[in-house]
Amino acid sequence: MRKNNVVWHPPLVTREMRNILNGHRSLAIWFTGLPSSGKSTIAHGVEKELYERGIRTYTFDGDNIRHGLCSDLGFSEKDREENLRRIAEVIKLFIDAGIVVLAAFVSPLKRHRKIVRSIIGENDFIEVYCRCPVEVCEKRDPKGLYKKARTGEIKNYTGISSPYEEPENPDLILDTHLLDIDEAVKRVLNLVEKKLIL
């Protein structure tokens, strides 16, 4: 289908109307950091707390997305960029649907995170950096992927054979090697609560 033959159909129900119905703003909380830095664990913990407060939520996890929507993509830089572009577009739809989205993705390069932020929109994007030394992440290694990366079984593994560029101005930094899960979740909630108010 040619792009110039596609016409946007204006909705009768808007994001603003859905937000009013839900009683809270919709937005995206983007968790970035090395593999095994705690992104998914914290994101799911935050989601549970928000859910229990009556907030409509959904968590996107990097591994889960690669089972379906992005199952055709590998881990080259080009494929990583496309993976993040796709998920950013889906998140944008969820925000329009009135949902608070939590997204846990390594998203190692600054320019990739910039693309994500530009798609989702500055006003709807909260960046949380789960900072953790690679040595600690490697000791955790719940999936055994660092070990495979060290032996060369996995190529382009972030933190070992592929770079991770730290965010320059994240909204929140969580030093996950120093914080327990409950404290990390609490800090995210403290940041987000005011932003959910209509």
Residue 1 inside a domain? The answer is no
**What's the confidence (pLDDT) of residue 3?**
67
Residue 94 inside a domain? The answer is yes
Which residues are known to be catalytic? 107
Give pLDDT tens digits for 9-67: 888 999 999 999 999 999 999 999 999 999 999 999 999 999 999 999 999 987 788 88
Task: Give the residue numbers spanning the domain of 88.
Answer: 18-132+163-196
Residue 156 inside a domain? The answer is no
pTM comes to 0.92
Provide the domain count of the chain.
1
Residue 141 inside a domain? The answer is no
Residue 59 inside a domain? The answer is yes
Q: How is residue 107 written in tokens?
A: 């998203």
Residue 154 inside a domain? The answer is no
Question: Over the range 97-134, which residues count as b (16 or more CB within 10 Å of their CB) and which as e?
Answer: ebbbbbbbbbbbbeebbebbbebbeeebbbbbbbbbeb
Specify the CATH number for the domain of residue 111.
3.40.50.300
Residue 151 inside a domain? The answer is no
Q: Which of 160, 182, 190, 119 is nearest to 36 (CA)?
A: 160
Give pLDDT tens digits for 97-145: 999 999 999 999 999 999 999 999 999 999 999 999 999 999 998 888 8
Residue 33 inside a domain? The answer is yes
